[in-house]
Structure 1
């Protein structure tokens, strides 16, 4: 073995010889230095030399192991490289070399015979047997180093992985020094009752699964419960009156303009090409007349008994199907009406040579619009009849309808990723749906006036209130969690209301994406179809002229009443829109 320290080198050579388990030299392989002497044939001299060599080997091994006990190349603090921790220690020649601050174990330079290998572990054990340093734990990898004859194989090298520190391992002493060595698990295993009492007094029982919130979390809860529902409902209410204003405009302003155009033609008796607005009014009036006529030919009682004969499950399935077709017809009707207005503008501004083409295109677009809105009117009528059937039924059909319809709406919208524009479209759709439900309630009221017997008004109010409250509640839940999951602020609904106010005042005609689109033609057809039988019951019997007089009188009174409603609604909307825009402007200036 060689020890180098600061430039000096000390070598300890373990003479290659087989040492038996009791420390006596082995006779299986003589030492090479003995064979070099020519007088080795004498047995007596050979035994003396062997004994002398054996004593030298023991003394050298004892000295080398004493040094190794102080300079252990396998301990991490001596600077041994990580890849050499598992190196096999040569048995016959151990080289320990220390250069500056590190100790490195050198590999043997040549092979040693199998019979002359002495393991490092055996040397340590013999050193302990001869009164060497204290006991050290040595971990060895399992190996089959010895054969059945007791000889060492070439591959049977002992791999030393770690040399433990001096001293025995006492578990009780370690626990006495550090009682919390194993943490709370050990504490619980020793005393479950004390662990349970400690958990009671340790604080929040959900601290492992729920963290403590902050001011942002508190604001999020308040937005979900208060700010978003209130602002959303305020926006839907304002949009409802915008739809009502459009509906009243269709019933009041459009007939007035048509009557004025006809009166101007009769007065001058000269045909003048109508402008785009007048052509659009004529187109919408034709759609309305044909739609009401088609619905008048429809037997409502037949539809009512057909729907009522279905089971409860089929009843709300039919209503959901009709609602889907209603959404499709709304989207298609918007496109159709825009195309019709474009054709009207093209016909009004066309030249004499191109008038025939523009006229044919206007007629074609008008035909498509008539078909589309008649279908839409029939779908709305079927929806109204279905809702009336559920209200009249006494088997909780209305509750089943509301639960299935509204919670299916929550499922289809809440758990989807929506943007700000998608949320705007969703709110506008809820506004239109709220207006359609109002039209359906008017249909149910008319049916009760015509056919109900006994006290029915209280029941009607209860059912109507149930329908509206359920719709409001579902809209609040839907928009609250939509904003929560998509991290949309409640101020977004204020921005939507600001855009709706600008639309009311006609201040944003260039941005049509922010406008509330509502086409009142199909609901107007349903309302006319429902109210016509009620007006028929008010007409007195008598000659045709007398009945015609009362028809004109009732129509005039109805028109005046609708015109008054139109003026009140329009003026209220404009004043509120102006006030709200001023409030928004002041708030923005205050923030700036």
Structure 2
């Protein structure tokens, strides 16, 4: 009796082991579970999702920040022009608007910094995460734009948004460059130059394809982009410095905060000296960097004004020649 029970238990155990082996073999052949866990464990998919979410928040913060900055400027003008009886109310409103602006700019700076960290993680990975991130993000951008019905004015704004995106890409790559200075333990300059070039080439190629299909699908002639550039040049020549953000919805405070956040650890890591003098040296170089950035901003502004004046003059000469013909 006992032998019979032992035989039954052994047979059941063998049968169960056989079924388990069959299930394992079937799972291995079908690869459903394996593919699921492989996709779930891929850092590239996570980077792609994170980067797209951050890009959406970046565009929202960009639009909101431009409106908030305009509200702050209007509040400042109201404080300057109001009567003495309304001065306290306008001053309180200005302080409230300024607090909202600071919070929005800090949040936008965090978004751009998180984007920079995502790009840095993709570049420094060893499984072609950057290439996958670029392909997925750029094809998603093409898919979401090429079959849209857009008016000429909307295409004009889209061209401005693509231009602003270049500045953010420069901030991301500057962050990656600083991280390489701080953490790289092997030759990295050639790899960084290759990755940075690949990022810019992919972005330019995708924008060319996107605008080509948008112009074709919406029956907009290529000469419209010359009109966009002419309008931008005229706005550059006629707008005051406080109204520049209206033109392209570009508020430089958030990228500037990211650049400052990147430069401070660089100074702390590479500048010599002990604690009190080290702090003085870091402060001195920080002030020197701000002076350099302001000088660079002035030079870029003068260059843009010169180019805008040249392009408007060139357009007027072409119009005269057409009327002459």
Scaled to the shorter chain, the TM-score interval is 0.7 to 0.9
Alpha-carbon distance in structure 2 between the residues aligned to 1:456 and 1:563? 30
Alpha-carbon distance in structure 1 between the residues aligned to 2:52 and 2:137? 6
Match of 1:324 among 39, 56, 60: 56
Match of 1:530 among 262, 273, 297: 262
Report the TM-score when normalising by structure 2: 0.82
Deviation at 1:311, TM superposition (A): 2.5
Gapped regions of structure 2 (runs ≥ 5) = 1-40
Q: Does 1:569 align with 2:300?
A: yes
- Could you give the per-residue CA deviations for residues 250-307 of structure 1, whole angstroms, max 9, x where no partner exists? xxxxxxxxxxxxxxxxxxxxxxxxxxxxxxxxxxxxxxxxxxxxxxxxxxxxxxxxxx
Match of 1:379 among 111, 124, 128: 111
1:474 paired residue number: 206
1:555 paired residue number: 286
Deviation at 1:447, TM superposition (A): 0.4
Where 1:540 maps in the other structure, the secondary structure is coil
Deviation at 1:310, TM superposition (A): 6.3
- Superposition pairs for residues 196-215 of structure 1, below 5 Å? none
1:588 paired residue number: 319
1:349 paired residue number: 81
The runs of 4+ residues in structure 1 deviating greater than 3 Å are 511-514
After superposition, the Cα gap between the structure-2 partners of 1:508 and 1:422, relative to the gap in structure 1 and judged at 3 Å, is: farther
Deviation at 1:452, TM superposition (A): 0.7
2:134 paired residue number: 402
Where 2:248 maps in the other structure, the secondary structure is coil
After superposition, the Cα gap between the structure-2 partners of 1:582 and 1:508, relative to the gap in structure 1 and judged at 3 Å, is: farther
- Could you give the per-residue CA deviations for residues 76-100 of structure 1, whole angstroms, max 9, x where no partner exists? xxxxxxxxxxxxxxxxxxxxxxxxx
Q: Does 1:578 align with 2:304?
A: no
Whose relative contact order is higher, 1 or 2, with alpha carbons under 8 Å and at least 6 apart?
2
Where 2:238 maps in the other structure, the secondary structure is coil
Deviation at 1:417, TM superposition (A): 0.7
Gapped regions of structure 1 (runs ≥ 5) = 1-308
Deviation at 1:371, TM superposition (A): 1.6
Q: Does 1:314 align with 2:314?
A: no
**Contact 2:66/2:246 (8 A) holds in 1:** no
- Superposition pairs for residues 88-167 of structure 1, below 5 Å? none
Alpha-carbon distance in structure 2 between the residues aligned to 1:561 and 1:325? 31
Deviation at 1:535, TM superposition (A): 1.2
Alpha-carbon distance in structure 2 between the residues aligned to 1:396 and 1:584? 46
1:362 paired residue number: 94
1:435 paired residue number: 167
Mark the structure with the bigger radius of gyration: 1
Alpha-carbon distance in structure 2 between the residues aligned to 1:590 and 1:322? 49
Alpha-carbon distance in structure 1 between the residues aligned to 2:194 and 2:266? 23
After superposition, the Cα gap between the structure-2 partners of 1:557 and 1:577, relative to the gap in structure 1 and judged at 3 Å, is: same
Deviation at 1:485, TM superposition (A): 1.1
**Contact 2:175/2:259 (8 A) holds in 1:** yes
1:462 paired residue number: 194
Alpha-carbon distance in structure 1 between the residues aligned to 2:135 and 2:100? 36
1:335 paired residue number: 67
After superposition, the Cα gap between the structure-2 partners of 1:473 and 1:571, relative to the gap in structure 1 and judged at 3 Å, is: same
After superposition, the Cα gap between the structure-2 partners of 1:472 and 1:507, relative to the gap in structure 1 and judged at 3 Å, is: same
**Contact 2:65/2:105 (8 A) holds in 1:** yes
Deviation at 1:338, TM superposition (A): 1.1
- Could you give the per-residue CA deviations for residues 469-515 of structure 1, whole angstroms, max 9, x where no partner exists? 00000000011111111111111111111111112212699x99982
Report the TM-score when normalising by structure 1: 0.46
**Greater displacement, 414-423 / 564-573:** 564-573
Deviation at 1:548, TM superposition (A): 4.2
Deviation at 1:561, TM superposition (A): 2.7
- Could you give the per-residue CA deviations for residues 549-590 of structure 1, whole angstroms, max 9, x where no partner exists? 423431343234324423332222121111111110011111
Q: Does 1:392 align with 2:124?
A: yes
**Greater displacement, 445-454 / 483-492:** 483-492
**Contact 1:410/1:478 (8 A) holds in 2:** yes
**Contact 2:156/2:228 (8 A) holds in 1:** yes
Q: Which has the higher helix share?
A: 2
